[in-house]
Structure 1
């Protein structure tokens, strides 16, 4: 019973380790949450989570390692990610004063986060490091207890539960501002745009270096 619980907790902490750090994903979630609705922010979070589910499948098939070991392919993917971030940063600024809770906003947030996640080297790198624990649950140790491979499904379930917890609570915390959300909206949009532009620069430079352009 204790080992099963630790398997879930270990997976949950792994999920939070991927979802919680500041970065382009959370910038998109914040923008969607404040400028549109909790539902739009949650949809963006689901977009990023869907990409993680896809990465998990790729990791099982060994494809993530193939991408990491193919510099040209990785460079192109990262470069595309950087350009997408610049485009989304422009959109954040252009729509900074527009507050809508339309269904189109939800779909757009999901698509933005999903596209960025697929080209995010941080997530690729995470799946090559911490994410390996999901594929080898017997190698994870928590509080001195080695987790059994028999509880691998519990670890995986805990992992996605951790991501789900973050993409639910983070937009909710932003929306908790209540009547002040409109006042926060423009500021969040500009901050999100700055974060996206900064990461876009990092991505583009990374891609240029990988492709031997600099």
Structure 2
């Protein structure tokens, strides 16, 4: 039961369509399934990492070092703006078929680091763990077995969402025209850059004012 709850948590954390979801959709449409799932796998790995911190009770580190968290937020915002620019540049070229040379490793790493740029995620995991009755504690007699079950469930739940999203989107790839793909890429890049700018401005303001 705990494992299923953890999978549900991972699914709920991943499902809201934010900048990572837009990246996954855009890469699946433009480059195919492998590029899309590499993006999702990076996000799922970062979710599992923050889920582990939450399960082991490290949420206090986020509140203890607010300036560090805000710095990561600003860096993540800058990275989002950079990714938006790369999307626009990438769409200037013709859409090519997916090959073994596709930079899936780079997509995984960039998404992993981007997801890690929001350390407040660990607080979300703690809150959800508590809400579903899976309190993040190191249970006596079980050592770290329960936290690892929770983290594995979170990872698989998140990965399940990214598999569905990238698989469904890449299946539509042959039915979507080049002009429509470029239009979706432009909308995605605008939305991602807007999110990044808001993240930079809000993080910078809070860092300067200390609020």
Shift of the alpha carbon at 1:50? 1.4
Shift of the alpha carbon at 1:134? 6.2
Partner residue in 1 for 2:142: none
TM-score, structure 2 as length reference:
0.81
1:185 matched to 2:181: yes
1:48 aligned to which of 26, 43, 47: 43
Q: CA RMSD in A?
A: 2.7
Q: For the residues of structure 2 that align with 1:86 and 1:178, how far apart are their CA atoms?
A: 25
TM-score, structure 1 as length reference:
0.80
**5+ unaligned residues in a row in structure 1: which ranges?**
1-5, 139-149
Q: For the residues of structure 1 that align with 2:207 and 2:18, how far apart are their CA atoms?
A: 24
Q: For the residues of structure 1 that align with 2:70 and 2:152, how far apart are their CA atoms?
A: 32
Shift of the alpha carbon at 1:23? 0.6
1:197 matched to 2:193: yes
1:212 matched to 2:208: yes
Partner residue in 2 for 1:75: 70
**5+ unaligned residues in a row in structure 2: which ranges?**
140-144
Change (3 A) 1:83 1:178: closer
Shift of the alpha carbon at 1:68? 3.1
- Number of positions where the alignment pairs a residue of Structure 1 with one of Structure 2: 199
Partner residue in 2 for 1:39: 34
1:47/1:114 contact within 8 Å kept: yes
Q: For the residues of structure 2 that align with 1:167 and 1:118, how far apart are their CA atoms?
A: 17
Q: Deviations over 1:37-76 (max 9, x none)?
A: 1111000111111112222333345444312331211111
Shift of the alpha carbon at 1:171? 0.6
